[in-house]
């Protein structure tokens, strides 16, 4: 089957094709190995050993993704037969392209940083001294990677549920904490409802087109096979967007996020904020441009309405997230509401479509997602230190941090400046690129909402900085910083500054290698 052929025929998986799944195979192999190993290791040693082996598996998988990217670039730059832009596996139900590879690297890097952070901050009395805390992250990351590469509704849903079910367990791992049990229950209920909405929306698309493959559905739309009942097409697409709106915690579907973020172990909170949210955003990006872009019927501008709905959802998330955070004093809940606003920022490149020949959506989305990953994981790492030292997550726990851990306070200031979108940080250029894209597309109203919400956010981000540098608890006892957590904090801080000083190389690579037309639009 040629690379550009869209087919729904069942195709066997050859050994050559199986090699393309190397990143996923590595994670699954480590998961099985660690699950068995955990049964035989002594309880006193299992946590550290399995934690470092989990980190090894993530790094090995990241190396496999990088090797595939480099190999394709070298093959493409040489002479001879051209390299296919998209590798289509299992009858085009699994796609390996630069968009998916970039997202896989983000998910793997985020998970590796989270594991490294947790090795120094998670208390034994909080989480049972077993390896589940670490090796359950591996299938969750596999689910996120499947969502990034999905070319079929069934593949997408399997990846979504693999990610969801494992994170349900991870959220409830603090068995002795009532808040953790409450968070897990709320997360299961809201996540289950969201998955039901998504599955219901998928059933409408299948009923209208008779296909589950993204390409086949798009071709049915283009040939006007699905216009007999445009109302059902609206319902299916809206159900999908609503379900994913819950998954990314975008207002008005965000009510679960503060409770779940507060009740979960802090490293798992960071995982939900970055990997789970990023995977759902990636799925929305691919769905909207692979399927929704082609949805139309005489007198029914369905595609235009879908993109407008995404921008309205983005505006609601930015406004609600920033205003609700103004009165929040619990740091994990505050960062949850900050994540609601950031979900809005990340929705803008998806909602802008290709208006006025604006085609740098993937670069804007990818750059801000990477900046968001760094500043969020870094901020949660600092929160975990305060939580470990003070036994609380309140804003007041940051009082006098500059006197108790000066370098950590400076790193946290970098993360706050990035979250606020101020120079010279990655968050500044991430928001700037999205603003310029909105201006190029003529969507000035969403640009105004983004600027206004960013200005409002200065109040609560600077409130944290004020606590660290201008308040004191009268206790200058140093905050202990474990080596692994310190490494994570300064990796994130350094890369945040690098993206804020020299953003061009990363953005140029994305714009050069990742294209909506090549990677997302069906040809």
pLDDT tens track of the chain, all 523 residues?
333 444 445 556 676 778 889 999 999 999 999 999 888 876 666 677 888 999 999 999 999 999 988 877 666 555 444 455 788 888 888 989 899 999 999 999 999 999 999 887 776 656 665 678 888 999 999 999 999 999 999 999 999 999 999 999 999 888 778 888 899 999 999 999 999 999 999 999 999 888 899 988 988 887 765 567 788 888 999 999 999 999 999 989 999 999 999 999 899 999 999 999 999 999 999 999 988 888 776 667 888 899 999 999 999 999 999 999 999 999 999 999 999 999 999 999 999 988 777 778 899 999 999 999 999 999 999 999 988 887 778 888 888 889 889 999 999 999 999 999 999 999 999 999 999 999 999 899 999 999 999 999 999 999 999 999 987 766 678 888 999 999 999 999 999 999 999 999 999 999 888 888 777 775 5
Of 415, 445, 441, give the one whose Cα is nearest residue 428.
Answer: 415
Strand partners, 21: none
| Distance spanning both ends of the chain, measured CA to CA | 14
d(CA 452, CA 456): 6
Element holding 87 (H helix, E strand): strand 87-89
**Parallel, antiparallel, or unpaired: how do β-strands 87-89 and 94-96 relate?**
antiparallel
Question: What are the structure tokens assigned to 259, written together?
Answer: 């409770």
Q: Indicate the pTM of the whole model.
A: 0.93
Of 284, 192, 277, give the one whose Cα is nearest residue 241.
Answer: 284
């Amino acid at each position: 089957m040629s690379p550009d052929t869209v087919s729904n025929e069942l195709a066997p998986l050859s050994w050559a094709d199986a090699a393309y799944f190397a990143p996923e195979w590595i994670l699954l192999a480590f998961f099985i190995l660690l699950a068995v190993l955990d049964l035989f290791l002594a309880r006193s040693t299992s946590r550290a050993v399995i934690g470092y082996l989990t980190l090894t598996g993530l790094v090995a998988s990241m190396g496999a993704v990088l090797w595939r990217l480099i190999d394709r670039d070298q093959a493409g730059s040489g002479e001879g037969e051209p390299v296919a832009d998209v590798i289509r596996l299992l009858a085009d139900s699994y796609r390996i392209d630069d968009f998916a590879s970039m997202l896989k690297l983000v998910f793997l890097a985020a998970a590796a940083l989270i594991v490294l952070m947790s090795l120094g901050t998670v208390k034994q009395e909080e989480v049972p001294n077993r390896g589940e805390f670490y090796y359950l992250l591996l299938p969750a990351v596999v689910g996120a990677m499947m969502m990034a590469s999905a070319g079929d509704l069934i593949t997408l849903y399997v990846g979504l549920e693999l990610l969801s079910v494992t994170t349900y367990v991870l959220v409830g791992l603090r068995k002795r904490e009532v808040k953790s049990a409450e968070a897990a229950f709320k997360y299961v209920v809201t996540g289950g409802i969201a998955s039901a909405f998504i599955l219901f929306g998928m059933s409408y698309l299948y009923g209208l087109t008779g296909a589950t493959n993204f390409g086949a559905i798009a071709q049915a739309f283009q040939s006007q096979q699905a216009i007999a009942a445009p109302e059902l097409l609206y319902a299916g697409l809206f159900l999908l967007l609503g379900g994913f709106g819950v998954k990314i915690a975008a207002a008005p579907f965000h009510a679960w996020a503060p409770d779940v973020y507060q009740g979960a172990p802090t490293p798992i909170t960071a995982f939900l904020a970055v990997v789970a949210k990023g995977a759902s955003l990636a799925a929305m990006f691919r769905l909207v441009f692979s399927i929704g872009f082609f949805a139309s019927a005489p007198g029914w501008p369905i595609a235009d309405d879908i993109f407008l709905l995404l921008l309205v959802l983005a505006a609601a998330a930015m406004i609600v997230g920033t205003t609700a955070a103004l009165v929040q004093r619990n740091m994990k809940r505050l960062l949850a509401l900050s994540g609601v606003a950031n979900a809005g920022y990340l929705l803008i490149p998806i909602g802008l479509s290709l208006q006025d020949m604006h085609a740098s959506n993937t670069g804007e989305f990818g750059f801000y997602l990477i900046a968001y990953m760094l500043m969020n994981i870094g901020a949660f790492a600092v929160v975990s230190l305060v939580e470990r030292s003070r036994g609380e997550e309140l804003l007041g726990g940051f009082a006098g941090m500059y006197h108790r851990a000066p370098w950590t306070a400076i790193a946290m200031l970098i993360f706050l400046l990035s979250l606020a979108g101020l120079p010279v940080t990655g968050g500044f250029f991430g928001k700037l690129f999205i603003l310029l894209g909105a201006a190029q597309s003529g969507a000035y109203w969403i640009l105004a909402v983004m600027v206004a919400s960013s200005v409002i956010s200065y109040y609560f981000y600077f409130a944290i900085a004020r606590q660290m540098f201008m308040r004191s608890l009268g206790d200058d006892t140093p905050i202990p910083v474990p080596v692994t957590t310190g490494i994570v904090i300064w990796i994130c801080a350094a890369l945040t500054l690098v993206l804020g000083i020299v953003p061009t190389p990363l953005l140029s690579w994305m714009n050069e290698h990742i294209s909506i037309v090549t990677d997302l639009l069906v040809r």
